[in-house]
């Protein structure tokens, strides 16, 4: 906080212009700049005053995805800030260290505003003695993955490019860059991966097939680190991974690739002589779920259904004036989310709840996979799959829950829970 200022951070949504292609300006949106936004980094337990300003010429909201804040500052569809207006809000990081993010949530315009560039990361830091790489930009790298489609004038002409089942691009970007490359100078790197796409799922691998270690999911550390060579994130999901480059220096063209083998992020490995201190990976002693939690009855049922413009939750489309569910603050309930197939089989829906970090109890009755044994705020639900979630809201207010395919959300695949 600068002297005389009554806020610690300033986040302004504004119009800008980005040169994705040499010599050709593309109209974009950004926070405090032309594209994407600054990283907001909070210490656990810290509380900061943030001045949010809308310099766009349309309404927007500022949603802190994954942060457990009261409903009135959550920035859902009720939180519209008119063009030219500002507000000062207090964000409190009263939850475990995690990789979260922020983006607009205007009713029926979320997908377009995100597509044009409004997204940023919000990190809650663990104490610095955690033993994990946490040197921002050196061995701790946030990576936002998004796909984009440009029109013949190389513009992000959303209305013309959009697909009602989720706008997918043929060009992939990392942190807003079309031709990304990352120089690796430290043997053990921590990547904070965010699937910031409107709709696409990303499956990550290393081009040499090597394994890496997933340490965190959406809302913080996993119960135990998981070694894997492939990781899928649906829209809005995050994961933190550790990659040990000390064993792969001889590899010439190392990259993070997708499941089709396309390069998402090539690496230039230039390791110095810094010793490999393998991060101490802690594991929790308690089980991920207690016997009691496992045995809790389902008290809320969610049915996801449909495709394109015909998307519903429990048979309804979103109504800003209708409360669909009520839950008491601090009281844990079991939500059962079922993705009901249609005649064509249906499609994947990533289901997200505001204002909470939940646990996945089971998928179709099967125990939670090790890489989902952590706090989550979004969950990929396959057609005909039934997922049970353990949900507690620490704050009061009205929160939305929705499919995070942003076009589905804008088409009304969203409901509201009032936490009292
Ligand atoms: Cu990423 Cu309703 O939000
Ligand atoms: Cu959210
Ligand atoms: Cu959906």
Give the tens place of pLDDT for each residue, 101-128.
Answer: 999 999 999 999 999 999 999 999 988 7
Ligand closest in space to the Cα of 201: 3
Distance 406 CA to ligand 2 centre (A): 11
Q: How far is the CA of 64 from the centre of ligand 2 (A)?
A: 6
Q: How far apart are CA 314 and CA 304, in angstroms?
A: 7
Q: Which atom of ligand 1 is nearest to the CA of 236?
A: 1
Q: What is the pLDDT of residue 263?
A: 94
| pLDDT for res 252 | 63
| Nearest CA residue ID for atom 3, ligand 1 | 65
Which pLDDT score, from 0 to 100, does residue 84 have?
98
From residue 43, alpha-carbon distances to 12, 48, 94, 121, 128 in Å are 22, 10, 9, 14, 10
Task: Specify the residue with its C-alpha closest to ligand 1, atom 1.
Answer: 65
d(CA 107, CA 318): 9
Beta-ladder partners of 352? 378, 402
Give the count of beta carbons closer than 10 Å to the beta carbon of residue 285.
6
Q: Which contacts (CB < 8 Å, 24+ apart) does range 313-319 have? A: 313/401, 313/402, 313/403, 313/413, 313/414, 313/415, 314/415, 316/415, 317/411, 317/412, 317/413, 317/414, 318/77, 318/107, 318/400, 318/402, 318/412, 318/413, 318/414, 318/415, 318/416
9-125 maps to CATH 2.60.40.420: yes
Q: What is the DSSP string of 328-360?
A: -TT--EEEEEEEE--TT----EEEEETT--BEE
Three-state SS at 51: strand
Question: Bridge-partner residues for 173, per DSSP?
Answer: 146
Protein residues with CB under 6 Å of any ligand 1 atom: 63, 65, 103, 105, 236, 352, 354, 400, 402, 404
pTM reported for the whole predicted model = 0.96
Q: Which residues contact 273 (CB under 8 A, 6 or more apart)?
A: none
- What is the Cα gyration radius of the chain? 21
C-alpha 55/C-alpha 38 separation (Å) is: 16
Per-domain boundaries in the chain: 9-125, 140-269, 291-419
Residues of the chain with pLDDT under 50: none
Fold of 140-269: Immunoglobulin-like (2.60.40)
Does the ipTM exceed 0.90? yes
- The Å distance, Cα 104 to ligand 1 centre, comes to 8
Q: What's the pLDDT score for residue 290?
A: 95
Q: What is the pLDDT of residue 406?
A: 98
CATH topology of domain 291-419: Immunoglobulin-like (2.60.40)
Residue pair 208/234 in contact by the 8 Å Cβ criterion: no
pLDDT value of position 344: 87
Question: For the sheet containing 333-340, what is the strand order?
Answer: 310-313, 298-307, 333-340, 386-391, 359-363, 366-367
Q: Which ligand 1 atom is the nearest neighbour of the CA of 103? A: 1
Alpha-carbon 221 to chain mean position: 15
Residues near ion ligand 3 (CB < 5 Å) are 349, 403, 405, 408
Cα of 236 vs centre of ligand 3, distance in Å, is 12
Domain 9-125 matches domain 291-419 at the CATH topology level: yes
How many whole angstroms separate alpha carbon 288 and alpha carbon 297? 18
Ligand 2 centroid–CA 80 distance in Å is 15
- Given a contact cutoff of 8 angstroms between Cβ atoms, the answer to whether 116 and 103 are in contact is no
Classify the C-alpha dihedral 139-126-360-414 as positive or negative: negative
**Residue-level pLDDT at 5:** 74
How many Å lie between the centroid of ligand 1 and the Cα of residue 352? 7
């Amino acid at each position: 906080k600068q002297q005389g200022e009554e806020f610690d951070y300033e986040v302004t949504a504004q119009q800008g212009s980005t040169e994705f292609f040499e010599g050709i300006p593309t109209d974009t949106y950004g926070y405090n700049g032309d594209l994407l936004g600054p990283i907001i980094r909070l210490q656990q337990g810290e509380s900061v005053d943030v001045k949010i300003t809308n310099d766009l010429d349309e309404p927007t909201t500022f949603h802190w995805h994954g942060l457990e804040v009261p409903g009135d500052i959550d920035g859902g569809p009720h939180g519209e800030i008119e063009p030219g207006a500002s507000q000062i809000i207090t964000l409190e990081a009263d939850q475990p260290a995690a990789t979260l993010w922020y983006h607009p949530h205007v009713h029926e315009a979320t997908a377009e505003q995100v597509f044009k560039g409004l997204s940023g990361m919000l990190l809650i830091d663990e104490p610095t003695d955690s033993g994990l790489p946490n040197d921002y930009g050196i061995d701790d790298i946030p990576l936002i993955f998004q796909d984009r489609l440009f029109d013949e004038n190389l513009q992000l002409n959303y209305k013309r490019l959009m697909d009602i089942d989720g706008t997918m691009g043929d060009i992939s970007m990392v942190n807003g860059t079309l031709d990304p490359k990352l120089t690796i100078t430290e043997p053990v790197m921590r990547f904070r991966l965010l699937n910031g796409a409107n709709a696409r799922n990303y499956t990550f691998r290393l081009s040499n097939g090597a394994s890496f270690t997933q340490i965190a999911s959406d809302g913080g550390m996993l119960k135990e680190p998981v070694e894997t060579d492939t990781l899928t994130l649906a829209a809005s999901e995050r994961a933190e991974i550790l990659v040990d480059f000390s064993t792969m220096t001889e590899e010439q063209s190392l990259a993070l690739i997708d499941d089709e083998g396309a390069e998402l992020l090539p690496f230039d490995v230039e390791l110095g002589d810094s010793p490999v201190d393998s991060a101490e990976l802690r594991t929790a002693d308690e089980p991920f779920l207690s016997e009691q939690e496992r045995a809790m009855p389902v008290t809320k049922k969610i049915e996801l259904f449909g495709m394109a413009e015909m998307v519903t939750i429990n048979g309804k489309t979103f109504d800003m004036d209708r409360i669909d569910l009520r839950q008491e603050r601090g009281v844990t309930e079991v939500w059962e989310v079922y993705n009901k197939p249609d005649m064509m089989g249906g499609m994947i829906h990533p289901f997200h709840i505001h204002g909470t970090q939940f646990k996945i109890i089971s998928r179709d009755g099967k125990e939670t996979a090790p890489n989902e044994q952590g706090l989550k705020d979004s969950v990929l639900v396959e057609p005909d799959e039934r997922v049970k979630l353990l949900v507690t809201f620490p704050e009061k207010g009205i929160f939305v829950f929705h499919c995070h395919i942003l076009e589905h959300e804008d088409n009304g695949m969203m409901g509201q829970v009032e936490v009292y």
